[in-house]
């Protein structure tokens, strides 16, 4: 039951592609003053920051204080909640977070309880274009046996990548890696905002681009043996109208979407049957409107639609 869309939703909301198999997700958008609290999410909080010290570039203005809320259900039973937030947290510092909290039926069959993924980003001029660049990426996983945190800090001037991992407050490892010249790693939180800001190119039918993502490795079983596989890419493809199936067109009409995106990832590393997730949005506002997948084993179609 390694369904592509459910697995990719699991990756984004829970940090693990296996966490959201065969779940239905409802999305509600809130654009009031609610926003991510960096103290709660583990991101740096620069006390004394004054709003007038920094003028927000146009690239970030559509996202400021944005909040998305998810209701996640399995067979129409609510099993988890998810939240995505975006906020300015310092001078040229923006914090976006994806948080998933497990409960109910899923809580009875998994030891996961909560996962938070937070990207601390800056706006930088790269190759003549402004874009989001992740300077830190956090992942906090709360399970029944305790809390685990991984932190990635990127120094693109020195081309160094620092990785720190802790378990129940105690450091378990600290590593340093070299970042290749002219490479900027986008975690999946940062990638979402760069895509919506059209950094990878104008979002229109036919856009087909492969992105350097934060490198990921995982031990998987191949021919009965455990091997470690690595990946550092994601392909984004906006389908032309004549490539969208009738069922997808019908779903888009129902949820008010006018474009469809396929996100291709390494299906072996991410534990996905096809390695493709389908997303739907509005071109004018670049808002995500839904997710859908067909013929999930035992459950039929699985879909996600924003609540009106």
Instruction: Determine the pLDDT at residue 106.
Output: 54
Tell me the C-alpha distance between 133 and 154, whole Å.
Answer: 9
Splitting the chain (308 residues) into consecutive groups of 10 residues, what average pLDDT does each group show?
39 41 44 41 42 80 86 58 87 91 62 84 94 94 88 95 94 94 92 94 95 86 86 94 93 89 83 76 85 48 50
Query: DSSP character for 202?
Result: -
Q: Which two tokens stand for residue 54?
A: 């920094």
Instruction: Determine the pLDDT at residue 112.
Output: 64
Instruction: Determine the pLDDT at residue 301.
Output: 45
Number of domains in the chain: 1
Instruction: Determine the pLDDT at residue 105.
Output: 55
- Number of residues written out for the chain: 308
Tell me the C-alpha distance between 305 and 199, whole Å.
Answer: 25
- Do residues 45 and 38 make contact, with C-beta atoms less than 8 angstroms apart? yes
**Phi, psi values for residue 92, rounded to 5°:** 50, 45
Beta strand residue intervals within 186-297, DSSP E = 208-222, 225-238, 259-264, 276-281, 288-296
By residue range, what is the domain housing residue 116? 4-306
Crossing angle of helices 188-196 and 4-14, rounded to 10°: 110
| Rounded alpha-carbon distances, angstroms, from residue 247 to 103, 111, 196, 254, 283 | 32, 36, 25, 11, 20
Helices (H) and strands (E) counted in the chain, each on its own, are: 6, 15
Q: Burial letters for 35-53: b for 16+ Cβ neighbours within 10 Å, e otherwise?
A: bbebeebbbeeeeeeeeee
- Do residues 269 and 230 make contact, with C-beta atoms less than 8 angstroms apart? yes
| Rounded alpha-carbon distances, angstroms, from residue 72 to 20, 31, 144, 241 | 9, 21, 20, 30
């Amino acid at each position: 039951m390694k369904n592509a869309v459910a697995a990719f939703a699991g990756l984004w909301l829970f940090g693990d592609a296996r966490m959201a198999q065969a779940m239905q997700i409802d999305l509600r958008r809130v654009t009031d003053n609610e926003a991510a609290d960096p103290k709660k999410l583990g991101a740096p909080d620069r006390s004394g920051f004054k709003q007038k010290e920094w003028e927000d570039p146009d690239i970030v203005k559509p996202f400021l204080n944005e909040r998305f809320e998810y209701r996640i259900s399995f067979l129409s039973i609510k099993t988890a909640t998810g939240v995505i937030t975006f906020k300015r947290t310092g001078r040229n510092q923006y914090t976006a977070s994806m948080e998933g909290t497990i409960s109910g039926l899923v809580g009875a069959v998994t030891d996961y309880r909560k996962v938070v993924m937070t990207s601390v980003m800056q706006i930088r001029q790269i190759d003549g274009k402004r874009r989001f660049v992740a300077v830190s990426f956090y992942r906090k996983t709360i399970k029944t046996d305790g809390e685990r945190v991984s932190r990635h800090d990127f120094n693109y001037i020195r081309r160094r990548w620092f990785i720190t991992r802790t378990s129940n407050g105690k450091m378990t490892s600290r590593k340093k890696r070299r970042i290749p010249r002219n490479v900027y790693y986008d975690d999946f939180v940062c990638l979402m905002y760069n895509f919506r800001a059209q950094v990878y190119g104008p979002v229109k039918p036919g856009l087909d681009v492969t992105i350097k993502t934060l490198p990921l490795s995982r031990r998987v079983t191949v021919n009965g043996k455990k091997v470690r596989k690595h990946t550092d890419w994601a392909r984004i493809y906006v389908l032309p109208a004549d490539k969208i199936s009738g069922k997808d067109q019908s779903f888009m009409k129902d949820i008010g979407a006018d474009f469809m995106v396929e996100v291709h990832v390494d299906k072996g590393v991410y534990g996905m049957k096809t390695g493709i997730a389908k997303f739907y949005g509005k071109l004018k506002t670049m808002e995500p409107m839904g997710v859908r997948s067909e013929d999930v084993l035992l459950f039929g179609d699985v879909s996600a639609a924003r609540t009106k």
